[in-house]
Structure 1
Amino acid sequence: MKVLVIGGGGREHAIVWKLAQSSQKPTLYCAPGNPGIAQLATCVNIGGEEVSALADFAEQEGIDLTVVGPEAPLLAGIVDHFEERGLKVFGPKKAAAMVEGSKAFAKALMEQANVPTARYADFTDLEAARSYVREQGAPIVIKADGLAAGKGVVVAMTLEEAESALDMMMKDKAFGDSGSKVVIEEFLTGQEATVMAFVDGDTVRLMVPAQDHKPAYDGDKGPNTGGMGTYSPVPVVDEALLTRVEAEVIRPVIDHLKAEGTPYKGVLYAGLMLTEQGPKVIEFNARFGDPETQVVLPRLETDLLTVFQSVADGRLADLELRWSDQAAVCVILAAGGYPADYRKGDVITGLDTAGDDSIIFHAGTKTTDAGTVTNGGRVLGVTGFGTDLKAAQAAAYRAVEQVKFEGMHYRTDIAEKAFRQ
């Protein structure tokens, strides 16, 4: 059994790490991979959006299943291309992946499917957007419509911040074409939670919930990032709430897309705000979250490869997922300056110090003559395990203390919200 994983970040390291534990003993490949993944799989020097080259490799190597990690290849139509060539692949087709590719598309879909979400309007004209923001007042949320690596959202607490965000996205093109349209939403209050689901077009199997920490600094201060840490389980998300999320959020979207002729297969990610009125969707993603995957997959007891095969073959109804009661906490170690301009090329030490109760997932690293060096904004994800969140948090931070690189920055309060509930 040969499996190819597309991507080279922390999420893909977690996927490869879990696949390496499969009882099917697959031969693993990853394109392009990273130094951590290279310890578990053969890394192939092909970029995630080189769709034809990846399909050529899958054909030549006799790959039995390809798993797509990041969003960009999905929105480049990799699943459509692979299926046209008779190659088995895990992930949604381009039309279904638009739930992440366009926030305006996702909001319209939620409206049509009656999924609870924040009130919104979308704009391609800067002056019209300015006028709407002034009319609505602050706090207010400004989002670039397209992909922006998790950074295209500004929670503006003042009108000045909101107008500055509009200028950054629409005038200064900070996110390129992704900001040529913006979605402006009402500000919601409550705790955030992530619920991901495996979906095969018909059947839904929820994963255990996680909570991400987007702001760069302790106490949820500073600019939004791609995620500075996660934990699972999430005390505020109980079984009753999960049942409600499946019925009110996941199921309506899946049914609507199927009725539209674009059935959804893969992972559907729902980013939720738990408001006083109940869960409301902040965003959908068309793939595993990063860094949520680094705490969710370690808790999966069912063979991940079997899950992927069941989704790809439309047989998910035959499978019940088993999850561990173990807790997991992931702390992201970021490069100095992230999420703005950040350092690269700093030597990392302590990568082999993780104990039995922790693992270090590589996200933005590179191998050089000097050793393993930093090569991205989010460099490493250190996940600790324990019988409860306190133990998992302690394990994660013990492992963090062993890792060093110039300018290393991380939050010291990951999972603290769980203890305040």
Structure 2
Amino acid sequence: MDPARFLFVSADAALITDLAWQIHREGHEVKYYIEAEADREIGDGFVPKTDEWRAEVEWADVIVFDDIWVGSDVGTGELAQELRADGHAVIGGTPNTDRLEEDRGYAMDILEAHGVNTVEHHVFHDFDAGIQYVRERPAPYVIKPLGEVQNVKRLLYVGSEDDGSDVVDVLRAYKQAWGHRMKGFQLQRKVEGVEVAVCGFFDGERFVDRVNFNFEHKKLFPGNIGPSTGEMGTSMFWSERNELFEETLGKLEGWLAGEGYVGSIDLNCIVNESGIFPLEFTPRFGYPTIALQEESFESPTGQFFAALARGDDPDLATHRGFQVGVRVVLPPFPFDDQTTYDESSRNAAIVFDTPDRRGIHLEDTKRVDEQWRAAGESGMPLVVTGKGETMQAAREQCYGRVDDIVIPNCYYRDDIGERWIDGDGDRLQAWGYLGPQN
């Protein structure tokens, strides 16, 4: 295809830098807008920037929103819907698809209305009511905050006590520490099994044929312990539509078409021998999922997303094996501590032992006089990826690339992909959800 003009919009924090960089390297024109003042240096030296995205709308052939948030409010879906109505090609949601992430109770209602099995769940706007509910129905529960505060990932809590006593204790603590910000929460009955996310790209009318299955690693430390983070790493593979897809996202195809949704949508699930239990939506790009997906694309990235935004029945060729991505982070991630960040991480130099940059993806990074440096204030400079015919081969390539990077004080999980090797893959195959991989 001829080069296209892409306008990337981060209406809150900067998240989409790597995709903008990839498309820019493919020869397309790119302009990138970042709303958050603390993030505006992210991507400097890698992609061209703009200070006012609305002034570039008529210039752009494709407009890409990276998240559902406009500052502390949900709102990019409304912006995307308005721009599409004016005839622009846009990757982004709608007010209703934004709500799938912001309002977990609404998300479950949509799933149930379309015949998708859901786990027992209840939404509360009062801490004492939630505590009383657990006391009357003792069991392990998961606490999922609602609204803007859900972006503080460490507040998600997975209960472990059969009588729910730990959940009661955590709700009491949240009431005291977070009651002024946490406007509500969902209690979800804990289900044991394999956690897997089903992800598809939707072009406004239908899903692209290739389906992505990914496995998130949210805890900070290896072995899945420590505080929850946005994500520490992801493993994945691609396949054709199968039972796991058809029983989840596949049942929402008509609803998404009615919404006119365009972009990536992900449904995280727990799967066991008894069934499939959806947990939560990501109706936008996932991070660092999109970086790992880019690494596995065998179609030109810009060509694919331009066709997706225009509803041109995009074709997507993907790597036929497995992929692993690791987030390399700096102190005080995942916490906010300005002093620690200033002393340990701000402007940290990123040094490579080899000139090879394959598998290296940007997060909070800038380039100054050809030197890569940490940027912003979140402590997430890089995602490093690998791929192979087996999950173990993908792990070896990924961690071999990590070993070639030197960043003072950096840390990362060294077990991404092991869950698949240790039995998750066998269980999913034995239960019949995946079918033959293609």
- TM bucket (normalised to shorter chain) is 0.7 to 0.9
Is 2:302 the counterpart of 1:301?
no
Is 2:220 the counterpart of 1:223?
no
Alignment counterpart, residue 173 of structure 1, candidates 154, 174, 178: 178
* 1:404 CA drift (Å): 3.7
- Does the CA contact (< 8 Å) of 1:211 and 1:231 recur in 2? yes
* 1:285 CA drift (Å): 1.0
Alignment counterpart, residue 335 of structure 1, candidates 330, 339, 345: 330
- Does the CA contact (< 8 Å) of 2:18 and 2:363 recur in 1? no
TM-score by length of 2: 0.81
Residues of 2 paired with 1:155 and 1:299: CA distance?
A: 32
Unmatched 5+ residue regions in structure 1?
Answer: 46-52
- Does the CA contact (< 8 Å) of 1:75 and 1:98 recur in 2? no
**1:212 is matched with which residue?**
216
Instruction: For residue 341 of structure 2, give the secondary structure of its aligned residue in structure 1.
Output: coil
* 1:65 CA drift (Å): 0.8
Deviations 1:295-340 (A, max 9, x none): 2221122233333233333332xx3321122532211122224223
Distance 1:222 1:169, change over 3 A: same
- Which amino acid in 2 is paired with 1:198? F
- Which amino acid in 1 is paired with 2:254? D
Distance 1:54 1:266, change over 3 A: same
Alignment of 1:18-417 (within 5 A): 18-20=22-24, 22=26, 25-32=27-34, 37-45=43-51, 53-59=52-58, 62-73=59-70, 75-76=75-76, 77-83=78-84, 85-147=86-148, 148-149=150-151, 151=153, 152-158=155-161, 159-173=164-178, 177=181, 179-205=182-208, 206-233=210-237, 242-258=241-257, 262-316=259-313, 319-342=314-337, 343-345=340-342, 346=345, 347-353=347-353, 356=356, 358-365=358-365, 372-373=373-374, 375-417=377-419
**1:50 is matched with which residue?**
none
- Which amino acid in 1 is paired with 2:386? G
- Does the CA contact (< 8 Å) of 1:36 and 1:361 recur in 2? no
- Does the CA contact (< 8 Å) of 1:358 and 1:395 recur in 2? no
Deviations 1:331-379 (A, max 9, x none): 1122224223343242433444466474322323456899723531433
Residues of 2 paired with 1:231 and 1:349: CA distance?
A: 27
**1:4 is matched with which residue?**
7
- Which amino acid in 1 is paired with 2:17? H
Residues of 2 paired with 1:200 and 1:150: CA distance?
A: 30
Provide the alpha-carbon RMSD of the alignment.
Answer: 3.0
- Does the CA contact (< 8 Å) of 1:233 and 1:327 recur in 2? yes
Unmatched 5+ residue regions in structure 2?
Answer: 424-438
- Does the CA contact (< 8 Å) of 1:211 and 1:292 recur in 2? no
- Which amino acid in 1 is paired with 2:298? E
Residues of 1 paired with 2:366 and 2:14: CA distance?
A: 13
Deviates more, 1:211-220 or 1:134-143: 134-143
Residues of 1 paired with 2:416 and 2:400: CA distance?
A: 13
Deviates more, 1:7-16 or 1:324-333: 7-16
- Does the CA contact (< 8 Å) of 2:364 and 2:381 recur in 1? yes
Residues of 2 paired with 1:189 and 1:26: CA distance?
A: 46
Residues of 1 paired with 2:394 and 2:291: CA distance?
A: 13
TM-score by length of 1: 0.84
Distance 1:272 1:10, change over 3 A: farther
Residues of 2 paired with 1:271 and 1:133: CA distance?
A: 24
- Which amino acid in 1 is paired with 2:419? K
Residues of 2 paired with 1:387 and 1:114: CA distance?
A: 35
* 1:168 CA drift (Å): 4.9
Distance 1:402 1:257, change over 3 A: closer
Deviates more, 1:132-141 or 1:289-298: 132-141
Instruction: For residue 18 of structure 2, give the secondary structure of its aligned residue in structure 1.
Output: helix
Residues of 1 paired with 2:158 and 2:129: CA distance?
A: 19
Deviations 1:392-417 (A, max 9, x none): 32222223234344432211111111
Distance 1:6 1:354, change over 3 A: farther
Distance 1:86 1:201, change over 3 A: closer
